[in-house]
Chain A
Amino acid sequence: MGSGSLLWNLTKKYLTAGVIGLTITDRFASIVPVRGGSMSPTFNPRTNTGLGSLDDRVLIEKFCLAKYKFSHGDVVVFRSPSDHKQKLIKRIIGLPGDWIGTPQNDVIKIPEGHCWVEGDNPVSSMDSRTFGPIPLGLVHGRATTIVWPPQRICQVEKRIPRDRVSPSA
């Protein structure tokens, strides 16, 4: 009897902590590991070592989702448009109304409610150059800080490539 109620109390405690943790990660901020070298050199600059433990951990803030206001150069996490289970992290290059050059040497206008995302490493990145502009509704948060490993703790700075985008007048 005594051990049963103890176990029940413990379960209740863990359950509550889990629920509150889930709320915080969904609403406010979470920490995710970045895999692969598509955002090198911003994240995972030494990706070819083959050691998974060297993956950067990044703090993702979710307050930007209240209004879906992003600016050029923000690094965002979003669901892949071709596979909803996969999450990708890329940099926003173009926002609605911008004109942008595609690899097929076209210039297209980004439709309303969409954005153009690209990885920092142009040779190995699966991004808008493959699947085109993505709806902003797929975005799940904005990366602000690298929190792990300790020697790499720093802010994620905005970087805007020149000569790629011509903003709408």
Chain B
Amino acid sequence: MSAWKSIAKEAFTQTCLVAKFLGFLHLTNNYLFSPTLVYGPSMLPTLNLTGDVLLVEHVSHRIQKVGPGDVVLVRSPLDPTKMVTKRIVGMEGDQINFLPDPSITDICRTIMVPKGHIWIQGDNMHASCDSRHYGPVPYGLVQGKLFFRVWPPSGFGSFDQ
């Protein structure tokens, strides 16, 4: 009887330990910072084509300290399971001039960003699907701000805006 008791106690302690670990992992990953792999042509030349590992912090978008020029991680409005990395160009109320498709025409269009939305664009305007295609995105889709580059080693260090 007492053997069972000690086994149950041991199991409970171990479960508590695992739960604690997972809890702190979740806290760090979702509220402080997390690593992310970014690849694709849309942010050339800031980010490489083949894949950079960067740290994303999740604090400043909660206290609304992101602004134009910041590179942010956004849940894609076209596919909610995907994340995209883009640069904020305008906040709510800003007037944005943009080229809808630079490879065909150079006619400029102007739009005002509505309340609670942001305007995001990739640095490589020729190969980026961004606000020029799907319009301003709600601020609620912002997941974090890129702040530190881990890989490649040549770019190691604070991520310069």
A residues adjacent to B (C-beta < 8 A): 16, 19-20, 22-23, 26-27, 67-68, 78-84, 111-114, 134-139
Q: Which residue of B lies closest to A140 (CB)?
A: B140
The CA-CA distance from A111 to B76 in the complex, in Å, is: 13
Contact of B138 among A79, A111, A112 (CB under 8 A): A79
CB contacts (< 8 Å) of B114 on chain A: these are: 82
In the assembled complex, 29 residue pairs joining A and B whose CB atoms fall closer than 8 Å, in A order, are A19-B20, A19-B24, A20-B19, A20-B23, A22-B27, A23-B23, A23-B26, A23-B27, A26-B26, A67-B81, A79-B140, A80-B116, A81-B138, A81-B140, A82-B115, A82-B138, A84-B116, A84-B138, A84-B139, A111-B134, A112-B78, A114-B77, A135-B77, A135-B137, A137-B80, A137-B141, A138-B140, A138-B141, A139-B80
Between A20, A27, A112, the greatest number of chain B beta carbons within 10 A of the residue's beta carbon is seen for: A20
What is the total of A-B residue contacts with beta carbons within 8 Å? 71
* Contact present for B23 and A83 (CB under 8 Å): no
The CA-CA distance from A138 to B77 in the complex, in Å, is: 9
* Contact present for B26 and A22 (CB under 8 Å): yes
CB contacts (< 8 Å) of A139 on chain B: these are: 80
The CA-CA distance from A134 to B26 in the complex, in Å, is: 27
Interface residue B34 (Cβ < 8 Å from any Cβ of A): no
0 or 1 for each of B70-87: is its CB under 8 Å from A? (1 = yes)? 000001111111000000
Q: Which residue of A lies closest to B138 (CB)?
A: A81
Closest 10 pairs (CB-CB, A-B): A79-B140, A137-B75, A82-B116, A84-B140, A137-B80, A81-B138, A135-B77, A19-B23, A136-B80, A113-B78
How large, as a class, is the contact surface on chain B? Answer: 20 to 34
Interface residue B30 (Cβ < 8 Å from any Cβ of A): yes
New contact pairs (12) apart from A23-B26, A79-B138, CB-CB < 8 Å? A22-B23, A22-B26, A26-B30, A68-B81, A82-B138, A83-B116, A84-B116, A111-B78, A112-B78, A113-B77, A113-B80, A138-B140
CB contacts (< 8 Å) of B30 on chain A: these are: 26
Interface residues of B in 17-51 (CB under 8 A from A): 19-20, 22-24, 26-27, 30
Q: Which residue of B lies closest to A115 (CB)?
A: B80
The CA-CA distance from A39 to B97 in the complex, in Å, is: 40
A96 to chain B, nearest CB (A): 9
CB contacts (< 8 Å) of A26 on chain B: these are: 26, 30
Interface residue B117 (Cβ < 8 Å from any Cβ of A): yes
